[in-house]
């Protein structure tokens, strides 16, 4: 009897131990904090996975955050930044994944939390956090024309970087030009290590609305990362083109292809190519009511002229020069500028927009392609070859 009683007691104790061990195993739960209903007798089928994974470091800010589930559907998903604000995102229509729609910040920690219901009707959840990268160098960019500008039909779009991007193709791929009401053919071209311009194949159609988006934030240039996105929305004005055929000693203004005005002019000296008004298509770059044309190299200082319209950084302007009145309309005697009578210079000054094309022909010399604004000095095929995207 005593031996049998001990056997029953031992069996009872063993059963109790097994029961305790069973409870302990259930409470440990899923390693990804996947919950299951008490006493359900098995692990949930649904599994939630996050990318980036929990505790990931130096995550690229442009890397999409994706929370996905298998054998279930997401019921909730959030991503919260260091300040406790939720990052914008959305669950897919099939409820199998969540992705952020808002870009991440540099050097920040993000916390995610997600819940799902499995095909077995069991609830699971996932929590974790990761940290984004802090770039050693951030590269700034600007875009021109600026918002709300109205410019001429020859105006290029310029994006300039404060440091030359090593990976120019990566930078260029982040740039986009949209036009309305019609689509305008054009291309990007690198004019220097720090400047890329977009130019239409032909002059812009009049009254075109242009939207530029440079989605450069987070772009890896190979020697730094984009500091910020930049955008611009501007308008193309009326179609106006200035034409100078230097042997004719005049400047002609065309509107919509029709001659609108002719002004007598004196251009650069014909005999000296260094003093020619060079051949080529340039644009109106800037306007000054009074310009300083001092040039000690040629022996004149403190020379001020009215109604100065800059057409290159090579030194050429359209401006009044009453001191050269005797030659205006008769002979080319300037040092490269287009000289006009004062009243005519004022009329041109008032009529032009930044970006109006100026087409010059008839000279011995051509404009050098080293000027800051030289977009129209290249053939279309050459222009396209200057893109970093092949």
Q: What angle do CA 78, 83, 87 make, to 5 degrees?
A: 30
Measured between alpha carbons, how far is residue 184 from residues 123, 127, 176 in Å?
54, 49, 12
Rounded to whole angstroms, how far apart are CA atoms 107 and 225?
A: 13
Catalytic positions, written as ranges: 319, 337
Burial class (CB in 10 A: 0-12, 13-18, 19+), 86: exposed
First to last CA, the chain: 95
Look up residue 24 and give its two tokens. 């302990």
Order of strands, sheet of 240-245, starting from the edge strand that comes earlier in the sequence? 258-264, 250-255, 240-245, 357-361, 280-283
Q: What angle do CA 104, 96, 33 make, to 5 degrees?
A: 75
- Other Cβ atoms closer than 10 A to 11: 10
Judge contact between 204 and 172, C-beta under 8 A: no
H helix or E strand, kind and range, residue 89: strand 89-91
Rounded to whole angstroms, how far apart are CA atoms 310 and 86?
A: 51
């Amino acid at each position: 009897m005593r031996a049998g009683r001990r056997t029953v007691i031992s069996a009872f104790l063993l059963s109790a131990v097994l029961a305790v061990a069973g409870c302990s195993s259930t409470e440990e739960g899923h390693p990804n904090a996947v919950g299951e209903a008490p006493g359900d007798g098995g692990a949930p089928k649904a599994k939630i996975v996050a990318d980036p994974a929990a505790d990931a470091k130096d995550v690229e800010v442009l890397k999409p955050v994706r929370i996905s589930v298998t054998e279930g559907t997401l019921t909730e998903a959030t991503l919260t930044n260091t300040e406790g604000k939720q990052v914008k995102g959305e669950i897919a229509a099939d409820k199998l994944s969540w992705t952020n729609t808002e870009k991440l910040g540099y050097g920040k920690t993000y916390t995610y939390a997600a819940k799902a219901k499995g095909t077995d009707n069991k609830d699971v959840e996932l929590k974790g956090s990761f940290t984004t990268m802090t770039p050693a160098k951030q590269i700034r960019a600007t875009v021109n024309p600026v918002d709300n500008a109205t410019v001429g039909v020859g105006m290029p779009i310029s994006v300039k970087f404060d440091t030359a991007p090593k990976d120019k193709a990566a930078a260029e791929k982040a740039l986009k030009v949209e036009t309305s009401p019609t689509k305008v053919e054009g291309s990007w071209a690198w004019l220097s290590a720090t400047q890329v311009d977009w130019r239409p194949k032909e002059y812009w159609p009049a009254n075109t609305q242009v939207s530029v988006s440079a989605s450069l934030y987070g772009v890896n240039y190979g020697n730094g990362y984009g500091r910020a996105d930049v955008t611009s929305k501007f308008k193309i004005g009326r179609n106006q083109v200035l034409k100078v055929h230097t042997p004719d000693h005049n400047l002609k203004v065309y509107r919509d292809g029709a001659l609108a005005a002719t002004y007598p002019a004196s251009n650069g000296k014909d005999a000296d190519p260094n003093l020619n008004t060079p051949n080529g298509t340039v644009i109106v770059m800037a306007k000054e009511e009074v310009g300083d044309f001092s040039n000690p190299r040629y022996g004149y200082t403190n020379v001020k002229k009215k109604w100065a319209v800059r057409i290159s950084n090579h030194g050429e302007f359209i401006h009044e020069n009453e001191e050269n009145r005797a030659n205006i309309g008769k002979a080319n005697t300037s040092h490269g500028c287009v000289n006009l009578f004062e009243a005519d210079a004022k009329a041109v000054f008032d009529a032009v927009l930044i970006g109006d094309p100026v087409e010059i022909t008839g000279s011995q010399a051509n404009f050098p392609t080293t000027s800051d604004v030289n977009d129209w000095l290249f053939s279309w095929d050459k222009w396209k070859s200057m893109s970093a995207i092949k």
